[in-house]
Amino acid sequence: MSTKTRSFAYLAAGLCIGLGLGQVRGVYADKQAAVAPPVPWEDAHTFAAVLERIKHDYVEQLDDHALLQAATRGMVSSLDSYSAYLDRDDYDEIKISSAGEYSGVGIEVAMEDEQVVVVTPIEGSPAEKAGIRSGDVIVMIDGIPVNATALNDTIERMRGKEGSTVRIGIERDGAAEPVQFKIKRQRVELHSVKADLSEPGYGYVRISQFSDSTGPELLAALATLRKRNGGALHGLVLDLRDNPGGVLEAAVAVADAFLDKGVIVSAKGRTADSRFQMDATPGDELSGAPLVVLVNGGSASAAEIVAGALKDNHRATLMGRTTFGKGSVQTIVPLTEESALKLTTSLYFTPSGASINHKGIDPDIEIKRAELAPGSPDAELQAALKELKQPTVNRGTALSAAVH
């Protein structure tokens, strides 16, 4: 089947579904701000009095900027667990996560035992080409020791202008001295889609998060699977386990790839921009072949939009465990070039009209952790492949939006 053309009107507010990480889209830049009502005088007086008392009496001297930044952060964080004031570092991370690319060396790192450890070099990145390996410990950047208590600082120092160089010192098992790498920074793409032909006729697609590039990546992955298979697939497993979410429009594009028609998601909020509905367009990349979606407690937000849309439209069987239950939409509103506000503006609803907020989506076929054999190959994937071949759930009648 030829790939269908998709045309989704991006909301002027730039809606995003959180990765924990809500994502950057457009903004309210072209809108005239409404005149806000005055702040109650008594509350303004109290705030000013507290600010002045802290400046005058607190044991350490603090400047006005730090205090007001803290006040802003505290005000926003009091709203809900997803709204946040984003400083320069936070805002940069949001942009990178949304765009799916950045300029740097291409290393995924984590803190382990108070060390900055390489989880993996990104495939095709400058770091991989230079020979950096999983398990390496980063100890120096440009001759300066890393701060083992500030992972973000290490990440920031490895990023930089495309074409510039950075020197990274690595401790490696078997090496008596730190190994030095001089690496030229390049544009690094963060791929969110991985695919494999599990066996002849049956494909597997894993989506780790939803960024601007996820929709096109999925279509390319499906085309590759069809080519490797020598024709149309007999079935597909879509793996959304531990997917924290991401860009709303990317989730809609993924759901639409498997739907011919029907509502994908709707949302309700206080403003006109926060109320919307997105529908599927004609065309199914699998031509109706069976689809099983793997989910668990780490499947959140945009991942739940996809799972809910495919379930409620009777297009897929959900397997695994109840999803996380994040049914809210965040809007990124830039405040300055280096700061922004991530604000919950809507609650979204599955095609059946159900809100999953704090509830999640129950799978059609539950796979309990106790049923998984320790150390065995991916038992959930094997169960999903079996369901594709010998279905136990009737997608046409039994998928009745089991959202609680």
Which residues are designated catalytic? 301, 312, 326
**Ramachandran angles phi, psi of 101, nearest 5°:** -160, 160
CA of 380: how far to CAs of 166, 236, 253, 369, 373, in Å? 42, 14, 25, 10, 10
Q: Per DSSP, what are the bridge partners of residue 187?
A: 103
Provide the 10 A C-beta neighbour count for residue 367: 17
Angle between helices 64-77 and 41-57 (to 10 degrees): 130
How many beta carbons lie within 10 A of that of residue 62, not counting itself?
A: 13
What is the DSSP pairing of strand 291-295 with strand 235-239?
parallel
In DSSP terms, which residues pair with 265 in a beta bridge? Answer: 278
- Tokens of residue 139, six digits: 């100890």
Residue 317: Cβ-neighbour burial (10 angstroms; 0-12, 13-18, 19+): buried
45 phi-psi bin (left φ>0, alpha ψ -120 to 50, beta other) = alpha
Task: For residue 274, give the DSSP letter.
Answer: G
Q: Tally DSSP H helices, then E strands, for the chain.
A: 9, 20
**Of the candidates 169, 214, 211, the residue with the CA atom closest to the CA atom of residue 194:** 214
Backbone angles phi, psi at 199, to 5 degrees: -160, 165
Q: Which amino acid is at 194?
A: K
Would you say 85 and 117 are in contact if contact means Cβ atoms under 8 Å apart? no
DSSP state of 232: -
Nearest alpha-carbon partner for 350 in 403, 391, 297: 403
Tokens in use for 358? 């704090």
In sequence order, what E strands does 185-221 have?
186-189, 193-199, 202-207
In 3D, which of 131, 156, 152 has the Cα closest to residue 142?
156
